[in-house]
Amino acid sequence: MPNVQVHSLFTDFDINLFKGGKHYRLYDKLGSHIVEVDGVKGTYFAVWAPSAKAVSVVGNFNMWNAEEHRLNVRWDSSGIWEGFIPNIGKGEIYKYKIQSSNNDIWTEKADPFARFCEHPPNTASIIWTAEHVWKDDAWMGYRKDKNGLDKPYSVYEVHLGSWKKSADNKFLTYKEFAKDLVEYVKEMGFTHVEFMPVMEYPYDPSWGYQLTGYFAPTSRFGSPEEFKMLIDTFHQNDIGVILDWVPSHFPEDAHGLGFFDGSHLYEHPDRRKGYHTDWKSLIFNYGRNEVRAFLISNALFWLDQFHVDGLRVDAVASMLYLDYSREEGEWEPNIYGNNENLEAMSFIRELNEAVYNTFEGVQTIAEESTAFTGVSKPVAHGGLGFGMKWMMGWMHDTLQFFKKEPIYRKHHQNDLTFSMTYAFTENFMLPFSHDEVVYGKQSLVYRMPGDEWQKFANLRLLFGYMFTHPGTNLMFMGGEFGQTSEWNFQQSLDWHLLQYDVHKGVQDFVKDLNHLYKNSPGLYEKQFSPEGFQWIDYGDHENSVLTYVRKGHDEENDLVIACNFTPVPRENYRIGNPKKGKLKEILNSDHTKYGGGGNLNEKIASSTKPAHGHKKSIVITIPPLGIVILK
């Protein structure tokens, strides 16, 4: 009996779909699968390597001898090598030893479809099945309503390797996160958690953005079934899970996808389209059908097998533009003579259509930093089809404004008001992400001017402004309690800071903001519609005050917001009252429990004196560097 038996999980229909780039469940076919053939248990292997002269499975079970277990190439020109190896199963480590058509080139590669990988720096794949009995039926049943674009969406962005560490500075496990992290996110009131990439990656300083194991949760924190349990626990606690997903590039590591079978299989063969000079990484060939099927299958894999609720797609701008980070002469225009990557655009549209047509209640979110139009518009309407897009311009302008000394802010109020000229051109998510607290940018609180009191008052005002600006929001871990040092992926957040009142005050304020957001339809029902926002006054530059209204479907849920961007309290400040009835203060960032000075509005009198185009007005105190929210 041969060491490798002829066996296949592919039908002719599968092959036709694969060749056409339309097979979106390749993870059921390619890779390693524990099966039984003629009463014998073993593992079926299948790998795409069309330029290979020979492909072997090597591992401890055959002393890494490429002669022992040679796979059979299919007869249908699909480029797939496959076969059944009896009597090996879960837990065996393996790689593919590939001889290219040029006999001088041998590559030893990890399985692109491996479900589990060795702990880095080891690089082999592991035969695995991740059995888990899901207990999130309730969440999956109402997720469509919970995860909609007219629902609260407050995201806590987490790097698992540095959120918190054990006493001996080791990683926590998926099991430990299922207790500590879930409890924390729930207590803080965030609706969703977003994990920076958890797919297997070899190099810690890449933060996970240079992937080698697209179908494997990193073994740094435990097994795939333990990662499923973590997601399940979030769902049982009414919290959605978003994964960072990286279809834009991949590293050149010897065991990875690059030059996989001795040819440019996954990467574009033209270095002008296939290599990132910034990141020293390779770019997928979006025009190749089988590569498109690989990537779309990968996106659907996490939504299907791990019940994930959304994908935040990294570095979309780098995919859309042929001249992204390239000098003149380093890129070639498309057939229309411009700089758009038509193949990447087509892939993105196909990806989003596949995601939304296959799963209810999920979202795709684009990290896209340019003015490219229609990113979050449906494909049927000429858009790229994402559910949301990061509002990078708002983030940049807002932080630029806040770092200015208050005395100069009156000259730059347009930095804040400008966002409303384009706020509804996309479904925007407002991000204060990990990228804003690294590489010398400083932590958010230390980007604020003034003494300690002013820095923390500014930070509370910043977060209050974010939560009341149209759109959803995202906050990177540590920001919610005023982490003072830049993020360091090698160590835990500075949780000890919570012993100090100013840090605990920020944390309590963010917690209350989250609960206010979730319980205030005026902040989310029309968060992507111009009908959900109305200026009261954006022109009081001299006092650096902004006043505006947020609206839901029912007028009773309208909120009036007043922001004071100077350390001078604005007492007896009159603003137009856009509707009948009395107003009461429901949140004030200057409350003493947040570390503020206690400039509150206990009673708010309504006057028949007109102001700001309204027949009636109110007079309030807007605290120094504070935000007041009225209902």
Tell me how crowded residue 507 is: count the other CB atoms within 10 A of its CB. 17
Amino acid at position 178, single letter: A
d(CA 444, CA 459): 7
Parallel, antiparallel, or unpaired: how do β-strands 80-86 and 72-73 relate? antiparallel
d(CA 427, CA 431): 13
Which contiguous run of DSSP H or E holds residue 59? strand 52-59
Cβ neighbours of residue 140 closer than 8 Å, sequence gap 6 or more: 134, 235, 307, 361
Task: Determine whether 131 is an active site residue.
Answer: no
d(CA 597, CA 85): 72
Q: Of the listed 367, 368, 415, 508, which one is catalytic?
A: 367
Contact 249, 325 (CB under 8 A): no
3-state secondary structure 320-359: HECCCCCCCCCCCCCCCCCCECHHHHHHHHHHHHHHHHHC
If you ran DSSP here, which 8-state letter would residue 284 be given? B
Q: Of the listed 314, 343, 350, 525, which one is catalytic?
A: 314
If you ran DSSP here, which 8-state letter would residue 197 be given? P
**Helices of type H across 442-500:** 452-468
d(CA 556, CA 554): 5
Of 441, 433, 434, 432, the C-alpha closest to 489 is: 434
d(CA 630, CA 615): 18
Of 293, 382, 363, the C-alpha closest to 144 is: 363
Task: Determine whether 314 is an active site residue.
Answer: yes
d(CA 537, CA 249): 45
Q: What is the CA radius of gyration of the chain?
A: 27
3-state secondary structure 130-155: CCCCCCCHHHHHHHHHHCCCCCCCEE
Cβ neighbours of residue 408 closer than 8 Å, sequence gap 6 or more: none
Tell me how crowded residue 20 is: count the other CB atoms within 10 A of its CB. 12
Contact 429, 392 (CB under 8 A): no
Q: List the catalytic residues.
A: 314, 367
